[in-house]
Amino acid sequence: MTEWTILGAGALGCVMAGLLRQRGERVGFMLSARHRGHFHPSLDLITLGGRHELIQSRPRFPEQARQVECLLVFTKAYQVVDALKGLQELPTSTPIILFHNGLGVAEQVQELFPHNPLIAGVSSHGAMKEGDWLVRHTGKGDTWLGPMNQAANDWAHLVKPLAAALGHAEWRENIKLHQHRKLALNAVINPLTACHNIRNGQLLEPRFADVLEQLSEEVFQVMVNLGETESRDAFRRRLQQVIELTAVNYSSMHQDLAHGRSTENDYITGYILAHAGAQPVPVSSQLYREIKRRGG
């Protein structure tokens, strides 16, 4: 049985660890130097039903990289490359699965680890961090994996244990489609909620109707330019559904900006701007600049 090593003990990484452990899978957390010598506590997972469950996992440190059998990366997009640089002893046979928000990082990871199987992961599970080693699973979702290089094609079997733990996991050769669809949602919800300091559900208030429509149209058109075949109406329905399902949540960009942390602005809205071509994207541009101005 494979041990899943999780790099990035944020909300989603911790929830994934909890769900895997509940199915009897072996799980370890790759920890940074600041955790060395500290007591490694149990993870307190608040389930969808509101129960607290203590989840046991193994602490791992960079010098143990050779022992990593499968690496799931849940760090912020801007942290991925630096975090992986400390794992140069990772076996070339170890698959690396990237679950970060936004796009534009996989190419850099491929340069760092040219021989490792590189897999993209996309998940719509809801998760919220409520304290150190305390996370809440806020919603079930779909999970998709797909190859980013040739070596990854031998690892499609990983979806079977993931599906058992998460409720859904599928392998998709065209993983870029799922990446683009998740990015499109993030490019609407994240910057708007961050700039206006609101929960996701507040975007459906009448005062945001105009800007929500304009931004949605900008993002949709960029996605069409990138090969998206989803209709405008289908995208709008999907966006509304996600906003409603995550109504009480704060987006990750909102939380990063509110706590003075760097955001994934460059990998979400920045990706939209970089692929807009000649298409005008004034709302996206304004939101991008505003988040930069506030330190994100």
pLDDT tens profile 82-93: 999 999 999 999
Residue 127 · residue 140 · CB < 8 Å: no
Same topology, domains 3-173 and 177-293? Answer is: no
**What CATH number was assigned to the domain covering residues 3-173?**
3.40.50.720
Residue 244: the pLDDT is 93
Q: What percent of the chain has pLDDT over 70?
A: 98
Residue 246 confidence (pLDDT): 87
pTM of the model: 0.93
Average per-residue pLDDT for the chain: 94
| Model pLDDT, residue 64 | 93
Instruction: Tell me how far apart the alpha carbons of residues 257 and 259 are, in angstroms, rounded to a whole number.
Output: 5
| Domain boundaries of the chain, sorted by first residue | 3-173, 177-293
C-beta neighbour count of 196 within 10 angstroms: 14
* Mean pLDDT within 200-219: 97
Asked if pLDDT for residue 277 goes beyond 90, the answer is yes
Tell me the average pLDDT across 223-242. 95
Residue 39, pLDDT > 70, answer no
Angstrom distances, CA of residue 257 to CA of 21, 46, 231, 246, 292 = 32, 25, 32, 19, 10
Rg (CA), the chain: 19
What letter does residue 2 receive in the DSSP assignment?
P
183 contacts 103 by C-beta, under 8 angstroms:
yes
Distances from the Cα of 73 to the Cαs of 2, 62, 100, 121, 251, in angstroms? 16, 14, 7, 9, 19
- CATH (one of 3.30.360.10, 3.20.20.70, 1.10.1040.10, 2.60.40.420) for 177-293: 1.10.1040.10
Q: Which residue has the higher pLDDT, 221 or 37?
A: 221
Active-site position among 129, 140, 182, 292: 182
Burial class (CB in 10 A: 0-12, 13-18, 19+), 294: middle
Q: Give the integer Cα–Cα distance in Å for 127 and 243.
A: 14
Q: How far is CA 193 from CA 187, 197, 200, 220, 258, in A?
A: 11, 6, 6, 18, 11
Active site residue 182: yes
